[in-house]
Amino acid sequence: MTVAATFEIEYLQYLGPDGKLAAELPHAFRDAQVLLPLFKQMLYVRTFDTKAIALQRTGKLGTYASSLGHEATHVGIGASMRPEDVFAPSYREYGAQIVRGVKPREILLYWGGDERGNDFSGPKHDYSWCVPIATQCLHAAGAALAFKLRKEPRVAVTCCGDGGSSKTDTYAAINSAGAYKLPFVQCIINNGWAISVPRSAQTGAKTLAQKGIAGGLHCLQVDGNDLVAVMEGMRRAMEHARKGEGGSVIEFMTYRLHDHTTADDARRYRGEQEVKDAWARDPIPRLRTWLTSHKLWSEKQEAAWVEECGKQVDVEINAYLETPVQPVEAMFDYLYADPPPDLLEQRAAAIALEKRA
């Protein structure tokens, strides 16, 4: 038999769920001290996420997509990028965005229905939140093409979920990145569910990482709950791209510990034992255990830091709540330089209804 091609998908894991070494650490992370600020960032993101859910439950925020359980993946992605790189997120990667300078108050503004939240702090060249599934992957591929044409040493990074990896947008982005050898990193965040559709029902592929093989990209699967694995996987991909060696697809194995959004009830479609097992792989306890074993962290330090996180997040929440609401006509005023007559009629009607109260 003649074989046309073969491939393998490497899997990275350095810290197991018990917080102990599963493999020899990459050189950059042999000093546990370098992980401490990232761990603190993960705790900050979880504190923010908890308070955001509480805001939604009390009617002070619209539908919100929780990032619970994704902290290592998101923070690791953001921390692996340079300011000049471009990030094209979906709608859940707050950890990556906060690391890149986005303010929590801006995240809340967006989910509160105010598009001014999309004019966020941090790199102005980063893309806004993208709710349509996987369209952001094409945006990132386009940015990567621009970087190559301009000979700029920049990388475009995008994220989609396991469900999003089945969209034609993702495949087109991967194909373009391979065909043009672009500085592009496709992060597939496999959290087990595409809303209520399990990973097992979404594709026959053994891994989601291998979806990049057909496009000619370098592919890797990592334990997305292991911050070290996330950082090392991203380091390889970013270095590969900067050297002009093309794009990568990284599948981050994690789990959605909360509902898909606050409009969802995951108890309708997944069992209690599955979720219980997933909590045993929570990214925060494993890194806490590792840092504690190196005498870099303690319960007392964590209690103090979480309290400080709460205070900082409360400042952001208050800033969000105190932001003056835009007048109703704002939804019409930034669509056209010369609005058509029917839109002007709708604008007038909306203003009239607003004044009725």
SS3 state at 107 = helix
How many residues can be counted in the chain? 357
Tell me if residue 269 is catalytic. Answer: yes
* Catalytic pick among 74, 240, 256, 281: 256
**The pairing of beta strand 10-12 with beta strand 218-223:** parallel
Q: Where would I find the H helices in the chain?
A: 36-57, 71-79, 94-99, 104-111, 135-150, 168-179, 227-242, 272-279, 283-293, 299-321, 330-333, 341-356
Surface-to-core class of residue 286, CB atoms within 10 Å of its CB (0-12 exposed, 13-18 middle, 19+ buried): buried
- 260 is known as an active-site residue: yes
Has 57 been annotated as catalytic? no
Distance between CA atoms of 93 and 253, rounded to whole angstroms? 15
| 169 vs 140: CA distance, rounded Å | 11
Q: Residue 204 has which token pair? A: 């026959």
List 82, 269, 294, 336, catalytic entry: 269
Cβ(173)–Cβ(133) below 8 Å:
no
Catalytic choice (260, 286, 288, 347)? 260
Q: Are strands 218-223 and 193-194 parallel, antiparallel or unpaired?
A: unpaired
**Catalytic positions, please?**
256, 260, 269
